[in-house]
Amino acid sequence: NAGVTQTPKFQVLKTGQSMTLQCAQDMNHEYMSWYRQDPGMGLRLIHYSVGAGITDQGEVPNGYNVSRSTTEDFPLRLLSAAPSQTSVYFCASSRTSADTQYFGPGTRLTVL
Amino acid sequence: QQQVKQSPQSLIVQKGGISIINCAYENTAFDYFPWYQQFPGKGPALLIAIRPDVSEKKEGRFTISFNKSAKQFSLHIMDSQPGDSATYFCAALQPGAGSYQLTFGKGTKLSVIP
């Protein structure tokens, strides 16, 4: 099993550009989530999904969209990138929202 | 409002010493308290976890102590090793509308020096 995979590993964007961060898991987990990690801020929940076709907002959802068309994939879209979105983004998955979450390796995003 | 407060921000411990990281919470609805370990350039990984009906849990050199009345819990790393150098996050899980949500502390960067 590959576990949770994320692409790309690094990305540089200009302000106003859009992009999609990819996340996939091969553990047949129902629950998937996106976090952002900023220095001294810990991990903050952006969006989450409890199953295919179901998504909801976390603590810091503004500027981000998600969709969950399959159990395996949970992409995160930045609609119009801003410097405040410079961060490291982690995708995680778990069997259910009450179970241990497994994290991907992260995507380091810089917005100029 | 920060729901899980973690201290210290950084910690330097000599090899063989005891590392102690503390967390406090306010929401009594939290019912599961995991600790995550993160090495540079990697994603966080579950280290050890505890439920509030237990006061202590030990796994090898890692121990969680839990004080329900004080709403505090801590991670103790015995015989700390340079390989333990990482960032540690406490977290708390609470039931919500239709799903549980995990809230993280801000992290503690541990450096174990030889």
Q: A88, A106 in Cβ contact below 8 A?
A: yes
- With 0-12 / 13-18 / 19 or more C-beta atoms within 10 angstroms meaning exposed / middle / buried, residue A3 is middle
Chain B hits for A48, CB-CB cut-off 8 Å, are 99, 101
Confidence check: pLDDT of B1 > 70: no
Once rounded to an integer, what is the mean pLDDT over residues A76-104? 95
Best of A5, A44, A100, A102 to disrupt the B interface (most B CBs within 10 Å) is A100
Token reading at B57: 């849990």
**Percentage with pLDDT > 70 across chain A:** 100
B7-25 per-position pLDDT tens digit: 999 999 999 999 999 999 9
CB B93 within 8 A of CB B32: yes
Selection from A19, A50, A21, A52 nearest residue A33 by Cα: A50
Q: What is the pLDDT of residue B61?
A: 98
Residues of B in contact with A31 (CB under 8 A): 99
Secondary structure letter of residue A102 according to DSSP = E
Distance of CA B15 to the CA centre of its chain: 20
Query: Which pLDDT score, from 0 to 100, does residue A1 have?
Result: 75
Token code pair at residue A61: 């959802």
A5-43, pLDDT tens digit by residue?
999 999 999 999 999 999 999 999 999 999 999 988 889
The mean per-residue pLDDT over the stretch B45-71 comes to 95
pLDDT grade for A112, boundaries at 50, 70 and 90: very high
**B93–A31 C-beta distance less than 8 A:** no
What integer pLDDT is reported at residue A40 of this predicted model?
A: 84
- Pull the structure tokens for residue A58: 């976390």
